[in-house]
Amino acid sequence: MRLATWNVNSLRMRLDHLTDWVQAQQVDVVAVQETKLTDDKFPVAELDSVGYASAFSGQKTYNGVALLTRRSTVGEPANVTVGNPLFDDEQKRLISADVGGLRVTCAYFPNGQEVGSEKYDYKLAWIDALVQWLDSLRDGPPRVLLGDYNIAPDSRDVHDPAQWDGKVLCSEPERERFTRLLQTGFVDAFRLFDQAEKSFSWWDYRMLGFRRNAGLRIDHALVDSRIAGQVRACRIDREPRALEKPSDHAPVVVDIDA
């Protein structure tokens, strides 16, 4: 089974990129972040016409998440949960479903804006609640957490570690939260394999970020430790980032024998 995560930065702007890509890559499950659409505007019919069923939770302007499943291989998302039952949140950042024997969660972690800000505190509290909830699901079906974590876990994941040292996305409390997620029984699928140095998943639109490869690895696929041995590959696909009018994020793909 091939799963992927992609922050599309507006599904309205990126629908063609997304449908082209999932078909070309034969993706079975894709977790989408920053749809920026209310549910009545979600392109159910367009996705259905290319063979994908969808579960989604959105709002106007900001946030918004979705899980798309390839009908011919994995069917429809089942037992869909919107949000975190342990955390009241008006922001639409989390959706989970059973797909192909896995409990798949799509997450759009808060950005945090600046260390010490109100938004940063919200980010840490949001992650703490996510850790608590996912920990409670350890005995259920194997979990997969796909999303834009807005955390670069390691200096390897940062184009210029000195410049980013201690800044939001790279601060110690955020990295500690990432470690806590791993400690609830996950592996970082990307780091199970040899990867090129300076592998990133996001590049600033400004200052020729992509051309200079001035990026961060903040989009991740965490896979339940119980099935770590079934992970066959994990890679970042930079190609969609080079298209006209791209998202600022590239998709991350993970292949699991399941």
Chain positions contacting DNA, by CB under 7 A = 7, 9-10, 12-13, 34, 36, 60-62, 110-111, 113-114, 119, 148, 150, 168-169, 202, 204-207, 216, 218, 245, 248
CB of 171 to DNA, least distance (A): 12
Output 142 or 215, the one with its CB closest to DNA: 215
Output 15 or 258, the one with its CB closest to DNA: 15
CB of 179 to DNA, least distance (A): 20
Output 46 or 98, the one with its CB closest to DNA: 46
Distance CA 238, CA 219 (A): 13
Output 70 or 217, the one with its CB closest to DNA: 217
**Token pair recorded at residue 42:** 């979600």
- The residues that are catalytic are 108, 148
CB of 94 to DNA, least distance (A): 14
Q: Give me the sign of the Cα torsion angle 170, 173, 176, 178.
A: negative
Cα dihedral angle (198, 156, 193, 139), rounded to 10 degrees? Answer: -130
CB of 189 to DNA, least distance (A): 20
CB of 241 to DNA, least distance (A): 11
* Spatial CB neighbours of 247, under 8 Å, sequence gap ≥ 6: 6, 7, 8, 9, 14, 17, 240, 241
Output 218 or 256, the one with its CB closest to DNA: 218
